[in-house]
Homo-oligomer: A and B are copies of this chain.
Amino acid sequence: MADDNALTFYFDFVSPYAYLAWKQIQNVAARHRRTLIVKPILFAALLNHHGQKGPAEIPAKRIYTFKNVIRMAHFSGLSITPPAAHPFNPLLALRASSVPMAESARLALIDAIFDVTWQGAKIDGSRDVTDPKTIAALATNVGLDGAKVLEAASSQEMKDRVRIETENAIAQGAFGVPTMIADGELFWGADSIPHLEAYLRGEDPANRERLNMFTEIPVGATRQRSPS
């Protein structure tokens, strides 16, 4: 049964903005008495769907993105450290986070994977979340059976689950990560958390009437490939 009081958090470990939002979202859900639903999805598939480039795929933007997350982390009081490599293939970590388990264990596992990726934490000396041994050790460390989590993460069912949740996110209008959805209202990016909280307080200034003013205007020009 759908939870009418849900706050859904779509994320990919590859995104430093997802990390910054992750470190705040459990408190946001608690403050507003929302049930946090976490959904690991593949950011690259969102980019493919929308024909868009990710911030790490435009050289000038890649450097700026790193500076921006250092600054955002600093002013949010969060620590951030680069992963062992970036971008990296997040599929194993996403699938492991999707394996059926108690929600408290899932939150702990996701937190542990984020900490190894973006906070400099190590497990058995490793910071490589693309390595099955690292994922198994992290699962064991939060009280799960690491070998079983790893086996389940490699199943077709978990491959399908990440793909289906990614498609669900796209169907709900997601075009990036993190995406947070409450009552069908979508918020994108770590910097949208204050807007999400205003919405959850019933104080969203982007109400239907205001929005219609913007969505009802015509498109006046489309981009030409070679502007004069």
Contact = CB atoms under 8 A, between A and B. Distances in A.
Contacts of A47: 223
Given A67-B211, A71-B205, A188-B64, A48 B223 contact: yes
Contacts of A214: 66, 70, 82, 86
Interface string A26-63: 00000000000000001011011011111011101101
A214 to B, nearest CB: 4
Contacts of A227: 42, 44-45, 48, 91
A191 B191 CA distance: 8
Nearest to A191: B191
A53 B176 CA distance: 13
B53 A50 contact: yes
A228 interface: yes
A147 interface: no
A44 B228 CA distance: 11
Interface stretch (A2-10, A96-104, A107-115, A192-200): A192-200
A74 interface: yes
Interface string A214-228: 110111111111111
Contacts of A67: 206, 211
Interface of A: 42, 44-45, 47-48, 50-54, 56-58, 60-61, 63-64, 66-68, 70-71, 74-75, 81-89, 91, 130, 159, 173-175, 186, 188, 191-192, 194-195, 198, 204-206, 210-211, 213-215, 217-228
